[in-house]
Structure 1
Amino acid sequence: MLAVATRALDLHWGVGEVALALWTIAGGVALFFGLMVLQATLAFWTVESLEVVNVVTYGGVQAAQYPLGFYTSWFRNFLIFVVPIACIAYFPVLAILHKADPLGAPEWFLPLAPAVGFAFLATSFVAWRFGVRKYTSTGT
């Protein structure tokens, strides 16, 4: 699909674009690993935590297929600040395509956005540590 899109857009991949694509993949891996850590953390207090995370992961993948401007502001903010899928799927693509964000994100942020995936992972580990400290067994 990437080859077809590259050809259709007449996109020329330089070293910077390839590096940004690899950086974006790494940020995406960190984000989704963070979601799995949060799912495991939720298991301390819920019975069906996997279903909650499935809504976010599968729904997020579907939502990431469209530009952010397509969504209402509360959902855009959710995709940027709560579960930052937009930082993996939207902002880096704008940087690779050398396009400005029509919603107004600063140009310097676009290639740095995948770092948010690593920040999300770090936050997930903090939540995990909290869960481990507060966990009490049923004793059975």
Structure 2
Amino acid sequence: MSLYFKYLLILFKSQMQYRTSFWLLSIGQFFIPFSVFAGLYFLFERFGQIKGWEFYEVALCFAVIHMAFSLSECFARGFDTFSSLIIKGDFDRVLVRPRSTFLQVLGSKFEFTRIGRLLQSAIVLIWAINNLSIEWSLEKAVTLIFMITSGVLIFTGIYMLAATMCFWTVQGLEVANIFTDGGREMAQYPLNIYQKWVARFFTYVIPFGTVNYLPLLFILGKTKGDEILYMLTPLAGSLFILPCFLVWQVGVRHYRSTGS
């Protein structure tokens, strides 16, 4: 981890060499999800509720998934831009270094300007919590942390799968955006508003439901049955990154240099 934090510090210093650009990009990242949230607000202003969900309940769901996405974009950006390492042949240098390829790629790029998106999500989170009559307990606070952490790991796992495909396709596949950007847009609403097959796919295959829907029922006091299961679903969702890591290892073993 000391090497990881060295990567972090070096890239942060490099980005801060152009401070005006850094802060302008951060401000831009703050307002990008703001327009999406404005659409969410006006939707509820017009219809009042969606399938039994009130505005502030969905706002909490929105904040959690966008916070997870912004953290993943910041700290797992190396996998999102991995195709450039393959195209330029720079991954060959990664392989000859006596450190994990996972760690080196993870530390190859950070997008600190995503702090703007993170800040906006944090503001929505605090606003939603203050307007919801939730009886907070230690278990619910821990569940909220689990939800954000699980979301970060799921998005990171999707980035890893997309990066692994580059070992065979060289260029990154845009289809991965269906599950990153598309997954973020879909998971900002509770899954039960969609058709059952959609909810099942995004619960049992790509487990966004373990981030935003099932534990959210526990926090809002809408559970039916054993509350502990709802509380622990984010931990189950976090396991998604393990098969993604194994697929990454398979891709590394099958890598052939581009000859660049």
State TM-score, norm by structure 1: 0.84
Q: Give the match for residue 130 of structure 1.
A: 250
Query: d(CA) in 1 for partners of 2:167 and 2:217?
Result: 39
Instruction: Indicate the residue corresponding to 2:36 in structure 1.
Output: none
Shift of 1:75: 1.1
User: What amino acid is aligned across from residue 220 of structure 2 in structure 1?
Assistant: L
User: Which residue does the alignment assign to 2:184?
Assistant: 61
Offset, 1:122: 0.5
68 and 15 in structure 1: CA distance in 2 versus 1, 3 angstrom threshold: same
- Establish whether residue 93 from structure 1 lines up as the match of residue 213 from structure 2: no
Structure 2 gap ranges (5+): 1-123
Judged with a 3 Å threshold, the aligned counterparts in structure 2 of structure 1 residues 55 and 48 are, in CA distance, closer, same or farther, namely farther
- AA aligned to 1:93 is L
Query: Matched residues in 2 for 1:50 and 1:81: separation?
Result: 23
Q: Look up the equivalent residue of 1:65 and give its one-letter code.
A: Q
SS at 2:222 equivalent? coil
Q: Distance in 2 between matches of 1:21 and 1:82?
A: 22
Tell me how far 1:117 sits from its aligned partner. 3.2
Alignment partner of 1:25 is 2:145:
no
| Equivalent residue pairs, number | 137
How much identity, in percent, do the aligned residues show? 39
Aligned with 2:240: secondary structure?
helix
TM (normalized to structure 2)?
0.48
Counterpart code for 1:92: P
Give the superposition deviation at 1:107: 4.0
Q: Which has the higher helix share?
A: 2
State the distance in 1 between where 2:227 and 2:135 align: 20
Measured after TM superposition, the shift of residue 3 of structure 1 is 2.7
Q: 1:6 aligns with which of 113, 129, 136?
A: 129
Partner deviation per Cα, 1:62-95 (whole Å, 9 max, x = no partner) = 1112222211122112111221111111111111
- Cα RMSD for the two superposed structures: 2.1
Counterparts of 1:25 and 1:50, CA distance in 2: 26
Higher deviation after alignment, 49-58 or 25-34: 49-58
- Would the aligned equivalents of 1:6 and 1:12 in 2 still touch at CA under 8 Å? no
Deviation string for 1:8-45 (max 9, x for gaps)? 32223222211111122111111111112112111112
Q: Residue type of the partner of 1:79? A: F
50-59 vs 122-131, greater mean Cα deviation: 50-59
Is residue 172 of structure 2 the alignment partner of residue 44 of structure 1?
A: no
Question: Which residue does the alignment assign to 1:79?
Answer: 202
Deviation at 1:138, TM superposition (A): 4.8
1:114 offset after TM fit, Å?
1.0
* Aligned-partner residue type, residue 14 of structure 1: S
Q: Deviations over 1:91-134 (max 9, x none)?
A: 11111112126xxx864421111123321111101111111222
